Amino acid sequence: MNAKIGQHMTLLGICAMAFYGAMLASGKLSIDVMPQFVVSAAIFLTSGRIMRRAARMMARDSEEEQEEEKTRKSKPIDADWPFLTQLLNWTAALLVVGAMAIFLMKPIGLSWSDAFSSADISDDHFFSEHIP
């Protein structure tokens, strides 16, 4: 499927180049703005080639994965170490950022016990019947 998208991107790049050439030939665009248009058309052209190459590589990888899965069914399940490592890293990072946020939100002249006691939510609601 990505190969077909790659073909569409290449076709879009060719059409963009033809359109920019026609605009330049008709005099609607000056030569000053052509580098931007040429770069955008070149991006379309190269992205089509890159997508086709990626589609070929993905097809090869999927065939290799199917062969590996046949052999893997007989093996015991191993831990997913890259995922577990990333989970540990993100958890530790969130804990550090959370601790720093709590530390930075406490006013400088206030002790920790006063800060926690003043953070108590009470039932003191302020109510006004009439709002001017």
pLDDT of residue 86: 94
- The domain limits of the chain are 81-117
Return the pLDDT at 108.
83
Q: 17 phi and psi, to 5 degrees?
A: -60, -40
Look at residue 88 in the predicted model and tell me its pLDDT: 95
DSSP-derived secondary structure letter, 19: H
Query: How high is the pLDDT of residue 72?
Result: 65
SS3 of residue 11 by DSSP: helix
* Three-class SS of 35-47: HHHHHHHHHHHHH
Mean pLDDT by 10 residues, the chain (132 residues): 71 84 83 78 80 79 75 72 93 93 84 78 66 66
- How much is the pLDDT for 122? 63
